[in-house]
Amino acid sequence: MAHKPLVSIVVPAHNAEATLPRALDSLLEQEMADWEATIVDDASTDRTPAIIAAYVERDARFRTLTSSAKSPARARNSGISTAGGQWLLFLDADDWVDASFLAKMLAALKTAPDAVAAYCGSRRVMPDGALTPASISPVVAVQPFETFARQCAIRTHALLVDRETIVKLGGFDASLRTCEVWDLWQRLARLGKNWVMVDEPLAYYRVSPNALSRNSTQMLTDAEIVIARGFSPDPKVKHPSSAHASGAIEVNGGTAAEALAWFALWNAASDCSRGSLSVNPRSLRALPAGRKRAREIAEVVLDGLMEGSLSVPAQMAARWNRFGEAITELTTELGKLCGDPGAGRRVQYHLEQMLLDFDDLAAPRKLGRTLGLRVNARNPSSTELPEGIDRIYAYLMMDGQIAARVQFGALGTVTRRHWFELAINFVPAERPVRRPVRDSHFGKLAQLAAQARELIRSSTEVREPPPASRRARAKDGQDDDRTSFWNRYFATEDPWNYGSSYEQEKYERQLEILPAGPIGRALELACAEGHFTRQLAPRVNHLTATDISAIAIERARARCGDQPNIEFGVLDFMAGTLPDEMNLIFCSEVLYYLDDLAELQRFAKKVVEALAPGGSLITAHAFVLRDNPQRTGFDWNTFGAQAISETLAGTEGLVLEQSIETELYRIDRFRRLSPGDVATEPMIEHAPIRAPVGIGVARNIVWGGARALRRDVARSERRMRIPVLMYHSVADDGPATLARFRCTPAAFASQMAWLRANGFHAINSEQLERFIANRQPFVGRPVLITFDDGFQNFADQAWPILRANDLTAEVFVVTDLVGESALWDAVSGPPTPLMDAGTVRRLAGEGAFFGSHLATHRAIDGLSTSDLAAELLRSRMFIERWTGRPIATFAAPYSVTDRRLGRLARECGYRAGFGGRHGPADLDCDPIDLPRIEIRGDRSLDNFVAIIEAVLG
| Residue 511 scores a pLDDT above 60 | yes
| Residue 408 scores a pLDDT above 80 | no
- Does 430 or 257 have the greater pLDDT score? 257
In the chain, ranges of CATH 3.20.20.370 domains: 708-952
Query: Helix, strand or coil for residue 250?
Result: helix
Give me the pLDDT at residue 437, please: 42
| Residue 435 scores a pLDDT above 50 | no
Crossing angle, helix 550-559 and helix 482-489, to 10 degrees?
Answer: 50
In the chain, ranges of CATH 3.40.50.150 domains: 482-698
Strands 96-97 and 87-90: unpaired
Indicate the pLDDT class of residue 213, thresholds 50, 70 and 90. Answer: confident
Give me the pLDDT at residue 467, please: 46
- Does 898 or 208 have the greater pLDDT score? 208
Give me the pLDDT at residue 19, please: 96
* Tens of pLDDT, residues 331-341: 999 888 888 77
3-state secondary structure 759-821: CEEECCHHHHHHHHHHCCCEECEEEEEEEEECEHHHHHHHHHHHHHCCCCCEEEECHHHCCCE
Percentage, residues of the chain above pLDDT 90: 75
Indicate the pLDDT class of residue 461, thresholds 50, 70 and 90. Answer: low
Strands 370-376 and 849-852: unpaired
Based on its alpha-carbon atoms, the radius of gyration of the chain, rounded to whole angstroms, reads 35
| Residue 932 scores a pLDDT above 50 | yes
Mean pLDDT, residues 336-352: 84
Indicate the pLDDT class of residue 685, thresholds 50, 70 and 90. Answer: very high
- The residues pairing with 30 across neighbouring beta strands, listed in sequence order, are none
| Residue 405 scores a pLDDT above 50 | yes
| Residue 951 scores a pLDDT above 60 | yes
Indicate the pLDDT class of residue 430, thresholds 50, 70 and 90. Answer: very low
Give me the pLDDT at residue 473, please: 36
* Tens of pLDDT, residues 866-879: 788 899 999 999 99
- Calpha distance 925→765 (Å, rounded): 13
* Tens of pLDDT, residues 617-637: 999 999 999 999 999 999 987
Mean pLDDT, residues 176-198: 96
Matching CATH number, 708-952, of 3.20.20.370, 3.20.20.80, 3.30.230.10, 3.30.2420.10:
3.20.20.370
- The residues pairing with 671 across neighbouring beta strands, listed in sequence order, are 616, 655
Mean pLDDT, residues 782-787: 98
Give me the pLDDT at residue 702, please: 94
| Phi, psi angle pair for 144, to nearest 5° | -60, -45
| Residue 253 scores a pLDDT above 90 | no
Give me the pLDDT at residue 116, please: 97
- Angle at Cα 22 formed by Cα 16 and Cα 27, nearest 5°? 115
Q: Do 533 and 545 contact (CB within 8 A), yes or no?
A: yes
In the chain, ranges of CATH 3.90.550.10 domains: 7-254
| Residue 465 scores a pLDDT above 70 | no
Crossing angle, helix 256-272 and helix 294-309, to 10 degrees?
Answer: 50
Name the least confident of 137-141, 366-370, 418-422, 586-590.
Answer: 418-422
Whats the size of the chain, residue-wise? 953
Distances (CA, A) of 510 to 140, 535, 692, 742: 57, 10, 18, 44
Mean pLDDT, residues 732-740: 94
Q: Which amino acid is at 67?
A: S
The class level of CATH for 7-254 reads alpha beta
* Tens of pLDDT, residues 34-73: 999 999 999 999 999 999 999 999 999 999 999 887 899 9
Give me the pLDDT at residue 424, please: 74
| Residue 480 scores a pLDDT above 60 | no
Give me the pLDDT at residue 479, please: 42
Matching CATH number, 482-698, of 3.40.50.970, 3.40.50.11540, 3.40.50.150, 3.40.250.10:
3.40.50.150
Percentage, residues of the chain above pLDDT 70: 94
Q: Do 756 and 748 contact (CB within 8 A), yes or no?
A: no
| Residue 111 scores a pLDDT above 60 | yes
Indicate the pLDDT class of residue 427, thresholds 50, 70 and 90. Answer: low
Indicate the pLDDT class of residue 108, thresholds 50, 70 and 90. Answer: very high
Q: Which amino acid is at 279?
A: V
- Does 637 or 157 have the greater pLDDT score? 157
| Mean pLDDT rounded to a whole number for the chain | 90
* DSSP alpha helix (H) spans, 143-211: 144-148, 163-168, 180-190
- Calpha distance 782→772 (Å, rounded): 13
**Span between the terminal Cα atoms of the chain, in Å:** 35
Task: Select from 609, 641, 605 the least CA-distant residue to 626.
Answer: 641
Q: Do 23 and 93 contact (CB within 8 A), yes or no?
A: yes
**b/e per residue, 824-853, with b = 16+ CB within 10 A?**
bbeeeeebbebbbbebbbbbbbbbbbbbbb
Give me the pLDDT at residue 290, please: 63
3-state secondary structure 604-625: HHHHHHHEEEEEEEEEEEECEC
Indicate the pLDDT class of residue 478, thresholds 50, 70 and 90. Answer: very low
Strands 401-409 and 391-398: antiparallel
Name the least confident of 4-18, 337-351, 665-679.
Answer: 337-351
Indicate the pLDDT class of residue 489, thresholds 50, 70 and 90. Answer: confident
| Residue 738 scores a pLDDT above 90 | yes
Give me the pLDDT at residue 696, please: 87
- Calpha distance 824→894 (Å, rounded): 10
Give me the pLDDT at residue 406, please: 87
Indicate the pLDDT class of residue 172, thresholds 50, 70 and 90. Answer: very high
* Tens of pLDDT, residues 533-550: 999 999 999 999 999 999
Mean pLDDT, residues 111-121: 95
DSSP 505-569: HHHHHHHHTSPSS---EEEEES-TTSHHHHHHGGGSSEEEEEES-HHHHHHHHHHTTT-TTEEEE
User: Which helix (H) or strand (E) is 66 found in, with range?
Assistant: strand 62-67
**b/e per residue, 288-302, with b = 16+ CB within 10 A?**
eeeeeebeebbebbb
Name the least confident of 469-483, 492-506, 595-609.
Answer: 469-483
* Model pTM score: 0.57
| Residue 439 scores a pLDDT above 50 | no
- Calpha distance 198→136 (Å, rounded): 9
| Residue 288 scores a pLDDT above 90 | no
Name the least confident of 219-233, 250-264, 789-803, 829-843.
Answer: 250-264
Give me the pLDDT at residue 501, please: 94
Give me the pLDDT at residue 470, please: 40
- Calpha distance 550→361 (Å, rounded): 73
Q: Do 305 and 272 contact (CB within 8 A), yes or no?
A: yes
Give me the pLDDT at residue 425, please: 63
